């Protein structure tokens, strides 16, 4: 079994805000949604083998605990870039063999970024 994608909820009319965060800041590419789903709003994003679907939820409440985690090769560089853009990485050292931080995306969903153990 292989994970195909994850879905996060976003509030109505927040697609441009999410594009700025996920595409412009993190470098994800927007993937066209199938025509039958395009009218619902939201975004489909891809980076390497990973895919995120951002789906519009009318009664949106950001995920504050549940979160996707992303492996990155240059964790400190990403943290610096996010910090410079107004996003505050919250470093977590509770797993000594893993460097990681959490932050909230442009609409308040929790995300985790970690450096692969082999890169430490």
Cα torsion for 48, 73, 78, 100, to the nearest 10°? 110
- Asked if residues 69 and 114 have their Cβ atoms less than 8 Å apart, the reply is yes
**Tens digit of pLDDT per residue, the chain (120 long)?**
988 999 999 999 999 999 999 999 999 999 999 999 989 999 999 998 899 999 999 999 999 999 999 999 899 999 999 999 999 999 999 988 889 999 999 999 999 999 966 665
Helix (H) or strand (E) holding 10: strand 6-10
Is the pTM for the entire model greater than 0.85? yes
Note the Cα 99 to chain centre separation in Å.
Answer: 17
The whole-angstrom separation of Cα 50 and Cα 41 is 20
């Amino acid at each position: 079994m292989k994970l195909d994608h994850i879905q996060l909820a976003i509030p109505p009319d927040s697609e441009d805000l999410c594009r700025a965060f996920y595409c412009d800041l993190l470098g994800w590419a927007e993937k066209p949604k199938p025509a039958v789903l395009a009218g619902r709003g939201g975004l489909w994003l891809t980076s390497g083998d990973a895919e995120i679907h951002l789906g519009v939820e009318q009664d949106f409440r950001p995920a504050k605990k549940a979160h996707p985690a992303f492996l990155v090769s240059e964790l400190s560089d990403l943290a610096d870039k996010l910090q410079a853009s107004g996003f505050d990485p919250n470093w977590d050292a509770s797993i000594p063999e893993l460097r990681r931080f959490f932050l909230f995306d442009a609409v308040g969903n929790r995300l985790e970024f970690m450096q692969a153990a082999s890169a430490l």
